Amino acid sequence: MKRLLLVLVLIAVAISGCTEKAPSGTKESVGDLKTLAIKSAENLSSYSLQSSVTQTMKLNAAGTNATSQKATTISESAKTVASVNLSGFQAKASGSTKSVLELPGQPANSSSTQADVYQIGNSTYVKDEKGQWTHLKDPRSAAEIWGEGNNNQVRILAEMINQSQTEEVGSETVDGVDTYKLKILTGKGDYDNLYNTAFGTAARLTQYPLFMPSINRMELNETAKMEKLIWISKDDYLPKKYQSSLSFKMTPEIIGSLDPDTGQMKMFNQSVRLGEVSVSVETTDLYYDFNKPVDISPPAEALEAKPISPTQIQATLPA
């Protein structure tokens, strides 16, 4: 439950407002910038965030040419606006999701969701689409939940940058702030994440565990395009913006199915080849209002909701 806010802040819309300048040398080395970013992020008392993630998946039927007229397109997007008071153990986030399914020759079918979340100490208040509030009470103390920078997304980002190979690619003005623009170089871990993302997509398409998918890792690596960029303020060295993009193509195969009699996976003598799948994922995070005073209080109806502990939730789940 302590990761509930972090899950929400990974979804959202980015307002970049950036204008690019010609590349120029930094006063500090790239290594110095990464170190300074961590030091600045460690001293944060508060921040706000707008972020977004969009995934588009195009599915072509097996044996057909990959044309847009024949493809099924699934687009999913999520947006969040959040404010975090690290010193006061308070946070709030408003998030929305939208899913659009486009089948060949048919009108698009869309659906959306909306949720508001407040995290106050060791209590999390969630408002669903029906306007109903749920109060989740963690048995741990607020200090334990918020300790070690668990909700400091800025520091987590700075630490990720510090562990990566980066290079300067210029400077830009982001949301009115002069920044250094750095590119995070692709490494082995990125290709591992690529495979995990692709396999997860294939598992979803084949309804795993009913069917066992398989993907060609060589095909995946050859078609993949990955880019990660980070903008760091020239004034206080705090990360201002993070952006990533990923795209790839694959042709999944089904190599087995679940045997209902034994509950075990039974491998096929010959795999079933599916159509080509094209996937693109884009994320953007914009950080602002660093160290500005913020007081976050849930509405009265949220505070009136009866607290539910994790043990109570588990007790109500079917065996």
What average pLDDT does the chain have?
Answer: 87
DSSP string, 254-305: EEEEE-TTT-SEEEEEEEEE---EEEEEEEEEEEE-TT--------HHHHTS
- pLDDT bin (cut points 50, 70, 90) of residue 7 is very low
CATH code of 60's domain: 2.50.20.20
Judge contact between 303 and 32, C-beta under 8 A.
Answer: no
35-60 average pLDDT score: 95
Please list the helix, strand and coil fractions of the chain in percent, rounded to the nearest 5, in that order: 25, 45, 35
Q: How do residues 67-111 score in pLDDT, each as one tens digit?
A: 556 789 999 999 999 999 999 999 999 999 999 999 998 999 999
**Predicted pLDDT at 27:** 60
pLDDT attached to residue 125: 97
pLDDT at residue 11 greater than cutoff 80: no
d(C-alpha 110, C-alpha 105), whole Å: 16
| Cα separation, 9 vs 21, whole angstroms | 29
Whose structure tokens read 């099924």?
A: 72
pLDDT beyond 90 at 298: yes
Q: Is the per-residue pLDDT at 319 higher than 70? A: no
The first and second tokens of residue 160, run together, are: 């990720």
pLDDT above 70 for 178: yes
In the chain, the number of structural domains is 1
Count of alpha carbons within 13 angstroms of residue 96, beta-carbon side = 7
Task: Say whether pLDDT at 5 is over 70.
Answer: no
In tens, the pLDDT along 204-221 reads 999 999 999 999 999 999
Quote the tokens at residue 262. 């034994």
The per-residue pLDDT for 38 is: 94
The sign of the torsion formed by the CA atoms of 157, 163, 165, 166 equals: positive
Quick one: which of 146, 147, 82, 157 has its CA closest to 120? 146
What range defines the domain where residue 168 resides? 4-316
Whole-number pLDDT of residue 23: 41
